Structure 1
Amino acid sequence: MLEPSAPLRNAMGNALRFSLLSLSLLIAVDAWGQVPSLANCTRSANLLACVDADGNAYSVNTVGSTIYLRGFEVAGKRQWAQTNSRYGQLTFFTGIASDGEAWVGYNRRVGWTTINRFSSSGGSSGKFTCSRMTGC
């Protein structure tokens, strides 16, 4: 299998970080669909579907304590899907993209802070902390 070039790998890492940040914000701030400057969203009881100004699209479907995310990235022309399973304050996630990249990670809520860790088959990994008071 061919190794992606550095700019493509960086774009994949940025897209992964964007999806993780989007999920963290969705969990932390339940008004995500009401922020028009970030994306144009439609919401029902269990489904949130959004398209941003660049044409990137994603949807979030909630079934019990499981969250299903699907999306399309314009820059990389790839589709992706991610499943999140919540156990109390801990959420585990796994995802895969149409170009074969896969990722795993977790989010852990501690008070108003969310600790996020992830790793991908594309070589990206990271840890970041988000707070309702100071952001990420």
Structure 2
Amino acid sequence: MPYALKCTLSGLLLLFAADACAQLPGLATCTRSATLLACVDPEGNAYSVATAGNTTYMRGFEQRGKRYWAQTTSRYGQLTFFTGLASDGEAWVGYSRRVGWTTLNRFSSSGGASARFTCSRLTGC
């Protein structure tokens, strides 16, 4: 292959790679302490996660929908339950149950969304 063609192809590959990297979303900037994690991403979305024993409290703000939300997650052995509420009135509930290397998941929301799915450490969800 002629040298000029190699250089041209290499240059095009670099342009495509640079373009692909430019399209990756920016990473969130986070601050943490022993029990609290607070993050903000470049689009203006924000969330915080606090833990207390077997309970996790999450709060956030979605820039696109301009809505605030909060979710509480509690773990009891192999069962994890969660409930959430958003500022637009949407509420959701769900659970995850671990059985060996498999996790059984189910959730539903007042907005009409619901799902039941299984995840495996070997094959994913």
Relative to the length of structure 1, the TM-score reads 0.65
Offset from partner CA, 1:85-130 (integer Å, 9 cap, x none): 1100111111100000001000122334433211000000012334
1:135 deviation in Å? 3.9
Question: Post-superposition shift, 1:134?
Answer: 4.1
Whole-Å separation in 1 of the counterparts to 2:47 and 2:112: 23
> 2:38 matched to 1:49?
yes
Separation in 2 of the partners of 1:132 and 1:40?
A: 29
Q: Say if 2:68 is the partner of 1:68.
A: no
Question: 1:9 aligns to what?
Answer: none
> Is 1:125 the counterpart of 2:122 in the alignment?
no
Q: In the aligned structure 2, how far is the partner of 1:50 from the partner of 1:64?
A: 21
The alignment yields a C-alpha RMSD, in angstroms, of: 1.8
- Tell me which residue corresponds to 1:92: 81
Distance 1:62 1:95 in 2: 16
Give the letter for the 2:116 counterpart: K
Give the superposition deviation at 1:72.
0.4
| Unaligned 5+ runs, structure 1 | 1-36
SS of aligned partner of 1:45: coil
User: Which of the numbers 59, 77, 80 marks the counterpart of 2:48?
Assistant: 59
Matched, 1:105 2:94: yes
Deviates more, 1:121-130 or 1:73-82: 121-130
Greater strand content: 2
| 2:8 aligned partner | none
Kindly tell me: are residues 38 and 90 of structure 1, through their superposed partners in 2, closer, same or farther at Cα, counting changes over 3 Å?
Answer: farther
* Distance change in 2, residues 1:111/1:55 (3 Å): farther
- The equivalent residue for 2:21 is none
Identity of aligned residues (%): 79
